[in-house]
A and B are shown apart, each in its own frame.
Chain A
Amino acid sequence: MKPKKTSFSRKREYFVPGPEASQEKILTELKEVFPIMESVSRKKKQTFYDTFDYKLYGKGLLLVKEGRKYALMKSGDGEQMAALSTRAKKTPKFWWDFPDGELREELSLYLDVRALMPLVDIERSSTRYRILNEDEKTVSYLDLEEINTLDCGGKKASARLLAVQPVRGYTEESDKIAEYLFGIGLERTPDDVLKIAFESLGRKPGDYSSKINVRLEPDMPASTAAKVILLSLLETIKANEQGIIDDIDSEFLHDYRVSVRRTRSVITLIKGVFPEKVKERYKKDFAMLGKSTNRLRDLDIYLLKRKQYEQMLPPELRAGLNPLFSMLENERQNALHEFVTFLSSPEYERILQSWDKFLKDTKIPEDGAVNAHTPILKLAKTHIRKRYKKALKLGKKIDDNSPDSDLHTLRIECKKLRYFLEFFESLFPEKQIRQAVRQLKALQDNLGDFNDLHVQQESLKDYVSKMNSRTKEGKDSIISAGGLISQLYSKQLDVRSEFEKRFEEFSNNETEALFENLFSTN
Chain B
Amino acid sequence: MKTLALYSMKGGVGKTATAVNLAYVAASEGSRALICDLDPQGATSYYFRIRGSKNFNTNKFVKGGRIIDENIKGTDYPNLDLLPSKLSFRNMDLALDAMKKSKKRLRKVFKEVEHEYDYLFLDCPPGISLISENIFNAADFIFVPIIPTTLSVLTYDKLLEFFKKKGLSRKKLYSFFSMVETRKTLHNQTMEEMSANGKHVLNTSIPYRSDIEKMGVYREPVPAHLPKSPSAMSYGKLWMEIKGIIDG
Residues of A within 8 A of B (CB): 1-8, 130, 135-138, 167-170
Residues in chain A near residue B32, CB distance under 8 A: 4
Tell me which residues from 62 to 109 in chain B have a Cβ below 8 Å from any Cβ of chain A: 69, 71-74, 76, 81
Residues in chain A near residue B71, CB distance under 8 A: 169
Measured between C-beta atoms, what is the minimum distance from A68 to chain B in Å? 17
Q: Is there an interface contact between B74 and A170, defined as CB atoms closer than 8 Å?
A: yes
Measured between C-beta atoms, what is the minimum distance from A177 to chain B in Å? 15
Q: Is there an interface contact between A7 and B116, defined as CB atoms closer than 8 Å?
A: yes
The answer to the question of B49 belonging to the interface, with a C-beta cut-off of 8 Å to chain A, is yes
The answer to the question of B214 belonging to the interface, with a C-beta cut-off of 8 Å to chain A, is no
The answer to the question of B136 belonging to the interface, with a C-beta cut-off of 8 Å to chain A, is no
CA distance A130 to B49 in the complex (A): 14
Chain B residue at minimum C-beta to C-beta distance from A166? B74
Tell me which residues from 15 to 53 in chain B have a Cβ below 8 Å from any Cβ of chain A: 32, 48-51
Chain A residue at minimum C-beta to C-beta distance from B82? A169
Chain A residue at minimum C-beta to C-beta distance from B114? A2
A5-B115, A138-B76 in contact; A168/B81 too (CB < 8 A)? yes
Interface string of B166-183 (1 = CB under 8 A from A): 000000000000000000
Measured between C-beta atoms, what is the minimum distance from B28 to chain A in Å? 15
Residues in chain A near residue B115, CB distance under 8 A: 2-3, 5
Measured between C-beta atoms, what is the minimum distance from B56 to chain A in Å? 11
Label chain B's interface by main secondary structure: loop
CA distance A3 to B73 in the complex (A): 21
- Could you list 10 further interchain pairs (A-B, Cβ under 8 angstroms) beyond the known A2-B118, A137-B48, A137-B50? A5-B116, A130-B76, A135-B49, A135-B50, A136-B219, A137-B49, A138-B76, A168-B73, A168-B74, A169-B50
Q: Is there an interface contact between A168 and B72, defined as CB atoms closer than 8 Å?
A: yes
Q: Is there an interface contact between A6 and B116, defined as CB atoms closer than 8 Å?
A: yes
Greatest chain A CB density within 10 A among B48, B115, B219 is at: B115
Q: Is there an interface contact between A167 and B73, defined as CB atoms closer than 8 Å?
A: yes
Q: Is there an interface contact between A170 and B118, defined as CB atoms closer than 8 Å?
A: no
Q: Is there an interface contact between A7 and B73, defined as CB atoms closer than 8 Å?
A: no
Residues in chain B near residue A8, CB distance under 8 A: 69, 72
Label chain A's interface by main secondary structure: loop
Residues in chain B near residue A1, CB distance under 8 A: 118
CA distance A168 to B69 in the complex (A): 10
Residues in chain A near residue B51, CB distance under 8 A: 135
Pick the residue among B49, B50, B69, B118 that contacts A7 (CB under 8 A). Answer: B69
CA distance A136 to B47 in the complex (A): 11
Measured between C-beta atoms, what is the minimum distance from B118 to chain A in Å? 7
Closest A-B pairs by Cβ, 8 of them: A169-B73, A168-B74, A137-B49, A167-B74, A135-B49, A138-B76, A5-B115, A7-B69
Residues in chain B near residue A130, CB distance under 8 A: 76
11 of the cross-chain contacts (CB-CB < 8 Å) are A2-B115, A3-B115, A5-B116, A7-B69, A8-B69, A135-B51, A167-B76, A169-B50, A169-B72, A170-B73, A170-B74
Residues in chain A near residue B49, CB distance under 8 A: 135-137
Residues in chain B near residue A7, CB distance under 8 A: 69, 116
CA distance A137 to B116 in the complex (A): 23
CA distance A251 to B48 in the complex (A): 56
Residues in chain A near residue B116, CB distance under 8 A: 5-7
Measured between C-beta atoms, what is the minimum distance from B242 to chain A in Å? 18
Residues in chain B near residue A169, CB distance under 8 A: 50, 71-74
CA distance A1 to B71 in the complex (A): 25
Residues in chain A near residue B69, CB distance under 8 A: 7-8
CA distance A355 to B49 in the complex (A): 72
Greatest chain B CB density within 10 A among A5, A136, A137 is at: A137
Residues in chain A near residue B73, CB distance under 8 A: 167-170
CA distance A139 to B72 in the complex (A): 13
Measured between C-beta atoms, what is the minimum distance from B150 to chain A in Å? 40
Residues in chain B near residue A2, CB distance under 8 A: 115, 118
CA distance A5 to B32 in the complex (A): 11
CA distance A421 to B71 in the complex (A): 56
Measured between C-beta atoms, what is the minimum distance from B149 to chain A in Å? 36
Residues in chain B near residue A6, CB distance under 8 A: 116
Residues in chain A near residue B76, CB distance under 8 A: 130, 137-138, 167
Chain B residue at minimum C-beta to C-beta distance from A39? B76
CA distance A34 to B183 in the complex (A): 48
Residues in chain A near residue B118, CB distance under 8 A: 1-2
CA distance A138 to B76 in the complex (A): 6
CA distance A175 to B87 in the complex (A): 28
CA distance A130 to B74 in the complex (A): 13
Tell me which residues from 93 to 135 in chain B have a Cβ below 8 Å from any Cβ of chain A: 115-116, 118
Residues in chain B near residue A3, CB distance under 8 A: 115
CA distance A167 to B73 in the complex (A): 7
Measured between C-beta atoms, what is the minimum distance from A352 to chain B in Å? 56
Measured between C-beta atoms, what is the minimum distance from A386 to chain B in Å? 60
Residues in chain B near residue A138, CB distance under 8 A: 76
CA distance A473 to B69 in the complex (A): 68
CA distance A520 to B65 in the complex (A): 60
Residues in chain B near residue A137, CB distance under 8 A: 48-50, 76
CA distance A136 to B74 in the complex (A): 14
Measured between C-beta atoms, what is the minimum distance from A175 to chain B in Å? 15
Tell me which residues from 142 to 190 in chain B have a Cβ below 8 Å from any Cβ of chain A: none
Measured between C-beta atoms, what is the minimum distance from B126 to chain A in Å? 26
Measured between C-beta atoms, what is the minimum distance from A183 to chain B in Å? 25
Residues in chain B near residue A170, CB distance under 8 A: 73-74
CA distance A141 to B69 in the complex (A): 21
CA distance A2 to B219 in the complex (A): 32
